[in-house]
């Protein structure tokens, strides 16, 4: 509920240069005057203003003292900082949502593992590896290869992204593989998003005489090279 206006308050406010603070000061002073007048004798407007002045003190002196506490420079710094903080907060909303979604994907991926992307049905042999590497700010962990009854091979590897890094929002996958004879194989597959992505690459028609699966990624100076000896172990 608003108070009535008093000439005294308006005179005080003339000396407060930072106009954005005048609203609060006006309200506070008028509320004080309202409380003060509640116990004052009946007066006409002129007498009321004189009474206010007598009890509140010189308007100019009060205005100048209040001005010292509401300096325009500090006021503007505060207002601009607050506006910038709000803009930054609004701009960050998509990032925060993205991070939340990626966290959910990550949790899902860790629970499901490779089983979300390749069937365990039909695996005859497997090779376990512990090969580690890094491309940009993505850590790559090659966990092994599965070989199916029909001869298909599936490479299993994880990519781990820094949540605050440049690559946090995208997925890195290997596409081309080689054997020791230099034959190239395309490996399509699947992967989960998130900060920890479990990925598989299906490699078909791999040369049965080849003893090594080679990952040879070299793009714009970003290199990952690994040779996986195909020393198969039977899966029970």
Partner 1 sequence: MDFDRGLIGGSALLMVLSLLHERDMYGYEIIKELEERSKNVFRFKEGTLYPVLHRMENMSYVKSYRKEAENGKERKYYSITAAGEKQLQEEKQKWHSFAVSVNMVIGGNAYGLQGV
- Interacting residue ranges for partner 1, rule: CB under 8 A: 1, 12, 24-25, 27-29, 31-32, 34-36, 55-59, 61-62, 65-66, 68-70
Give the shortest CB-66-to-partner 1 separation in angstroms: 5
Would you state the structure tokens that stand for residue 227, as one six-digit string?
Answer: 């040779």
For partner 1, which is the closer residue by CB, 16 or 138? 16
Give the shortest CB-77-to-partner 1 separation in angstroms: 13
Query: Are 124 and 148 a contacting pair, CB within 8 Å?
Result: yes
For partner 1, which is the closer residue by CB, 16 or 145? 16
C-alpha angle 200-203-205 in degrees, rounded to nearest 5: 165
Query: Are 131 and 217 a contacting pair, CB within 8 Å?
Result: no
Query: Are 138 and 173 a contacting pair, CB within 8 Å?
Result: no
Using CA atoms, how far apart are residues 134 and 213, in angstroms rounded to an integer?
Answer: 19
Classify each residue of 154-176 as buried b or exposed e, where b means 16 or more C-beta atoms within 10 Å of its C-beta. Answer: bbbbbbbbeeeeeebeeebebee
Query: Are 218 and 136 a contacting pair, CB within 8 Å?
Result: no
Give the shortest CB-84-to-partner 1 separation in angstroms: 21
For partner 1, which is the closer residue by CB, 22 or 147? 22
For partner 1, which is the closer residue by CB, 20 or 181? 20
What is the SS3 assignment for 12?
helix
For partner 1, which is the closer residue by CB, 74 or 87? 74
Give the shortest CB-42-to-partner 1 separation in angstroms: 20
Give the shortest CB-1-to-partner 1 separation in angstroms: 7
């Amino acid at each position: 509920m608003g108070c009535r206006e008093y000439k005294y308050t308006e005179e005080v406010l003339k000396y407060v240069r930072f106009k954005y603070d005048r609203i609060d000061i006006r309200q506070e002073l008028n509320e004080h005057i309202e409380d003060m007048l509640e116990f004052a004798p009946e007066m006409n407007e002129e007498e009321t203003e004189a009474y206010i002045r007598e009890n509140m003190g010189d308007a100019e002196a009060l205005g100048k003292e209040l001005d010292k506490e509401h300096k325009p420079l500090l006021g503007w710094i505060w207002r601009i900082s607050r506006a910038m903080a709000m803009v930054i907060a609004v701009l960050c909303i998509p990032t925060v949502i993205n991070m939340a979604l990626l966290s959910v994907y990550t949790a899902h991926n860790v629970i499901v593992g490779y089983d979300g992307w390749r069937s365990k049905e039909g695996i005859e042999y497997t090779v376990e590896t512990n090969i580690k590497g890094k491309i940009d700010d993505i850590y790559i962990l090659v966990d092994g290869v599965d070989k199916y009854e029909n001869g298909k091979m599936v490479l299993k590897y994880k990519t781990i992204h820094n949540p605050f890094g440049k690559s946090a929002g995208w997925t890195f996958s290997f596409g081309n593989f080689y054997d020791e004879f230099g034959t190239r194989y395309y490996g399509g597959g699947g992967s989960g998003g998130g900060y920890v992505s479990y990925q598989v690459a299906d490699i078909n028609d791999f040369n049965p005489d080849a003893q090594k699966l080679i990952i040879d990624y070299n793009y714009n100076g970003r290199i990952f090279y690994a040779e996986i000896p195909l020393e198969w172990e039977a899966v029970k």
